């Protein structure tokens, strides 16, 4: 299985367009791995997790062909994870040629919101209606927590995320029968229910990808709708202790914001010392 991080930023990306904090100022000078677009992950060119505003331009910059994508898993209906403007170009009026069918999977609550966004963009494209699905040449799967479903050659299982309960957010376990990964974005620090759900899948992961939004935040005084560096370090240790990683399994952090963030190389040194790694835009791994 090959995975490519099309983007590794939070909703804000790095640098923020109008921010002059030290992280954003440094990113404008350093560029390279310090520039982060909104998070998305491409698996083997045919499965995409999230499709925010930056996913398409990132794919083009990295030489990846999104016409091969047959499945789009959406973690939740927040704007950094789904841009309806990309999807409406599938309708015939845009002259989109030789468009293969696409499966979109998300929770029921997220699908309703995605449908509303699409409908707001182009009338008649609400993906919760048969006519909307036909217009966009796609099928929809409502992801039930803990119930595996087939998506092409993959088996996918949605795990409940406590991030944005109004979206009924999902994290995803993706297996091709030989290799399994877990995409745990967006999420606060895992509660016991999440650990239990991971345990119940009976899976050893070659790679676990976790939310690192708030970076090296102080002990208190920050929101808990996302993980921070301390949460990721604790999760990495527990993943190993509970045997949830393969012997050479990776833990990667993504969805990094500008808050409490070090430049990439320094953040990576901190992460390595704490049992995990920091992803960057364009990172490709063969697992
Ligand atoms: Zn997000
Ligand atoms: Zn900033
Ligand atoms: Zn979110």
The per-residue pLDDT for 219 is 75
Using one digit for the tens of pLDDT, what is the confidence trace for 76-106? 999 999 999 999 999 999 999 888 999 999 9
Helix axes 229-241, 264-273, angle to 10 degrees: 40
| Cα 163 to middle of ligand 3, angstroms | 7
pLDDT > 80? residue 220: no
- CA 18, CA 245: separation in Å to the nearest integer? 40
- Ligand positioned closest to the Cα atom of 28: 2
| Cα 160 to middle of ligand 3, angstroms | 13
Residues in the chain: 287
| Cα 130 to middle of ligand 2, angstroms | 43
Number of structural domains found in the chain: 1
Using one digit for the tens of pLDDT, what is the confidence trace for 154-211? 999 999 999 999 999 999 999 999 999 999 999 999 999 999 999 999 999 999 999 9
Closest to 58 in 3D by CA, of 94, 8, 103, 3: 8
The per-residue pLDDT for 113 is 98
> Looking up tokens 């993906």, which residue turns up?
127
The boundaries of the domain holding residue 153 are 3-286
CATH value at residue 48: 3.60.15.10
């Amino acid at each position: 299985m090959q995975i490519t991080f099309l983007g590794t930023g939070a909703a804000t990306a790095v640098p923020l367009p109008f921010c002059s904090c030290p992280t954003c100022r440094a990113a404008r000078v350093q560029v390279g791995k310090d520039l982060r677009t909104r998070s998305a992950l491409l698996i083997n060119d045919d499965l995409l997790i999230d499709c925010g505003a930056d996913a398409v331009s990132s794919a083009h910059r990295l030489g990846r062909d999104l016409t091969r994508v047959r499945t789009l898993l959406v973690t939740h209906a927040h704007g950094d994870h789904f841009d309806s403007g990309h999807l409406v170009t599938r309708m015939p009026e845009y002259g989109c040629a030789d468009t293969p069918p696409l499966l979109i999977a998300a929770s029921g609550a997220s699908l309703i919101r995605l449908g509303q966004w699409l409908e707001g963009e182009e009338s008649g494209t609400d993906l919760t209606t048969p006519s909307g699905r036909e217009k966009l040449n796609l099928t929809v799967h409502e992801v039930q927590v803990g119930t595996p479903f087939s998506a092409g050659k993959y088996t996918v299982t949605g795990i409940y995320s406590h991030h944005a309960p109004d979206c009924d957010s999902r994290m995803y376990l993706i297996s091709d029968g030989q290799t399994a990964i877990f995409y745990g974005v967006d999420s606060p620090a895992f509660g016991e229910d999440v650990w239990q759900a991971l345990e119940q899948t009976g899976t050893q992961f070659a790679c676990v990808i976790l939310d690192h939004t708030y970076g090296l935040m102080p002990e208190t005084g920050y929101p808990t709708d996302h993980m921070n560096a301390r949460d990721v370090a604790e999760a990495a240790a527990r993943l190993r202790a509970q045997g949830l990683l393969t012997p050479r399994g990776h833990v990667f952090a993504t969805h990094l914001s500008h808050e409490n963030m070090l430049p990439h190389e320094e953040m990576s040194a901190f992460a390595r010392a704490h049992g995990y790694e920091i992803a960057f835009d364009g990172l490709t791994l063969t697992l």
